[in-house]
Structure 1
Amino acid sequence: MSLPRPGGGAIRRNLRSSGTSTPPGLSERFVAFLQYADALPNHASKERPLSASYGTRFERDLAMDPLRLGSLIIGVIASIATPSLTQQLDTLEVYPSSITLGLAETSAVPIVAIVRYDDGFTFDVTDEVLVSVANESVVEPVNIVHESGGDTLSYWYLRGRSPGVTSISVSTQGLDTDISATVVSDAPEPPPPLSRTAMEIGTNLIDVSDISPDLVFTDVFMVSRPWVSSTLDGWDDHPGPVTVDSLGWVESLLPDQVADTILLLELDGGYPMGSYTLTWEGTGSLILERGWTGLPYSTIPYPDLGDVHVAEVTIGPSDDGGVRLRIVATDPGDPIRSIRLWMPEAVSGVNPTNADTPPEDPFLESFVAQVSRYCTLRFGNWFRAMDGTDNQSETWGDATTIHHATQARSWGIAPEWPLRLLNRINASGRGCEARTDGWFVIPYRADDGYVRRFAELVATTVDFAANPETRVYVEWANEVWNPSFVHLGYAAELGIELGLDWGTGDPWIAATGYQVYRSRQIFEIFEDVFARTHPVPGGVDRLRRVLAGASAWPYINHVLLDHPGAADEIDLFAVAPYVGVEIGGAVNELPPSSLPTVDELLAALDDPSDPDNLESSDVEQRIRDMAQVKALVDSWSAASGNDIEMGAYEFGQHLAGWGYWIEPHVYPLFEAANHDPRMGDIYRRLLLGWRDVGGSTANHFLHRDKWSQWGLFGALEWYDEDETTLPVRRKYLALLEALEVTGPILSPRAVVHPR
Structure 2
Amino acid sequence: MNRVRKTKLRLIGAMALSSTVMMGTAAVAASTASAFLLYTASIKLKGLNLVKWADVLSVLTLASLPSTSSGTKPSGSSTTTISTPGSATTVGSGSAATGVPAMKLGLNLTAPTTWMGNRSFLNLLSGWRLSNAQGGWSDMPEDRLDANKRLIDLRPGESGIRQMALPTRSLWGESVDIICRWQGTGSVGVGGTPAKNSRVSGKTLTFTFVPQGGASAWLRIASTSPSDPVRNADCREVDADPNATFDPTYLAEVKRYGVLRFMKWSYGGVEGNLPVRWETRAKQGDEIVAGPDGVALEYMIQLANELKADPWFCVPWNADDEYVRKFAELVRTRLDPSLKAYVEVSNEVWNYVYPVTTQALKEGKAAGLSSNDHMAMLSRYSQKTGQVMDIWSSVFAGQMQRIVRVAAVQTGAWNADFVLSFGDTAKKVDAVAIAPYFAANLSANALDTSAGVDAAFAGLANDVNDRIAESKKVKDVATKFGLRTITYEAGQHVLGSAPLDKMIALQRDARMTKLYTTYLTKWRDEVGDLMVMFADYGGGSQWGSWGQRDYVGQPLSEANKERAVELFRQSYITR
Q: Could you state the TM-score of these two structures normalised by the residue count of structure 2? A: 0.78
Residue pairs, 1:233-312, within 5 angstroms: 234-236=135-137, 243-264=144-165, 269-270=170-171, 273-291=175-193, 295-299=196-200, 309-312=203-206
Counterpart mapping for 1:593-672 below 5 A: 597-606=452-461, 617-634=462-479, 636-637=480-481, 643-657=482-496, 663=497, 666-672=499-505
- Count how many residue pairs are aligned between Structure 1 and Structure 2: 494
From the superposition, tell whether residues 500 and 323 of structure 1 become closer, same or farther in structure 2 (CA, over 3 Å).
same
Does residue 440 of structure 1 match 2:313? Answer: yes
Q: Which residue of structure 2 aligns with residue 457 of structure 1?
A: 330
Distance 2:304 2:28 in 1: 50
Offset of 1:589 from its aligned partner? 5.1
Which amino acid is 1:279 matched to? R
Identity of aligned residues (%): 25
Query: 2:344 is matched with which residue: 475, 478, 483?
Result: 475
CA shift in 2, pair 1:315/1:516, >3 Å: same
Q: Contact conserved, 1:630 with 1:693, CA < 8 A, in 2?
A: no
Mapped contact 2:277–2:319 kept (Cα < 8 A): yes
Separation of aligned partners in 1, 2:392 and 2:231: 37
CA contact (8 A) 1:683 1:731 kept: yes
Tell me how far 1:459 sits from its aligned partner: 0.8
| Shift in alpha-carbon separation, 1:576–1:245, aligned structure 2, 3 A | same
Q: How does 1:154-173 map to 2 (within 5 A)?
A: none
Alignment correspondent of 2:9: none
Pairwise mapping of residues 479-490 of structure 1 onto structure 2 (< 5 A)?
Answer: 479-490=348-359
From 514, 529, 537, the counterpart of 2:380? 514
| Cα distance between partner residues in 2 of 1:602 and 1:386 | 37
State the Cα distance separating 1:197 from its structure 2 match.
Answer: 7.7
Output the CA distance in 2 between the equivalents of 1:274 and 1:424: 26
- Return the match for 2:266 from 377, 383, 391: 383
Does the 8 Å contact 2:438/2:491 carry over to 1?
Answer: yes
**Distance (whole Å) between structure 1 residues aligned to residue 475 and residue 225 of structure 2:** 63
The Cα shift of 1:481 comes to: 0.5
Distance 1:739 1:368, change over 3 A: same
Deviation at 1:259, TM superposition (A): 2.2
| In 2: Cα distance, 1:227 partner to 1:441 partner | 27
**2:277 corresponds to 1:395:** yes
Change (3 A) 1:471 1:706: same
AA aligned opposite 1:515: Y
Matched, 1:569 2:428: yes
Q: 1:526-537 to 2 correspondence within 5 Å? A: 526-531=392-397
CA contact (8 A) 1:268 1:320 kept: no
- Equivalent of 1:317, from 211, 216, 229? 211
How much does 1:279 deviate?
0.6
- Give distance in 1, aligned partners of 2:146 and 2:234: 17
Which residue does the alignment assign to 1:354?
A: none
Mind listing any 5+ residue stretches in structure 1 that lack a counterpart? 1-113, 125-148, 152-190, 302-308, 351-358, 427-435, 607-616, 638-642, 658-662, 746-755
Contact 1:229 1:241 in 2 (8 A): no
Q: Deviations over 1:15-63 (max 9, x none)?
A: xxxxxxxxxxxxxxxxxxxxxxxxxxxxxxxxxxxxxxxxxxxxxxxxx
Larger proportion of helix: 2
Match of 1:130 in 2: none
CA distance in 1, matches of 2:299, 2:211: 29
Paired position in structure 1 for 2:360 = 491
Amino acid at match of 1:367: Y
**1:94-134 deviations in Å (ceiling 9; x for gaps):** xxxxxxxxxxxxxxxxxxxx99999776799xxxxxxxxxx
- SS of equivalent residue, structure 2 residue 554: coil
Aligned-pair distance for 1:299? 4.3
2:551 is matched with 718
Q: Matched residue of 2:246: which SS?
A: coil
Change (3 A) 1:364 1:499: same
Counterparts of 1:10-89 in structure 2, within 5 Å, are: none
Residue type of the partner of 2:279? Answer: G
- Indicate if the aligned counterparts of 1:210 and 1:225 stay in contact, CA closer than 8 A: no
- 1: CA distance between counterparts of 2:248 and 2:157? 41
CA RMSD of aligned residues (A): 3.4
Deviation string, structure 1 residues 613-634 (Cα, Å, up to 9, x no partner): xxxx121211221122112222
| Greater RCO, 1 or 2 (C-alpha within 8 Å, sep 6+) | 2
Alpha-carbon distance change, 118 to 515 in structure 1, aligned in 2, over 3 angstroms: closer
Q: Distance in 1 between matches of 2:101 and 2:250?
A: 23
Q: 1:408 to 1:594 in 2, by over 3 A?
A: farther
**Any stretches of 5+ residues in structure 2 without a counterpart?**
1-24, 40-94
Give the TM-score, by structure 1 length.
Answer: 0.60
Larger Rg: 1
1:731 alignment partner, SS class:
helix
Q: CA 1:240–1:529 in 2, change beyond 3 Å: closer, same or farther?
A: closer
Shift of 1:569: 2.1
SS at match of 1:647: strand
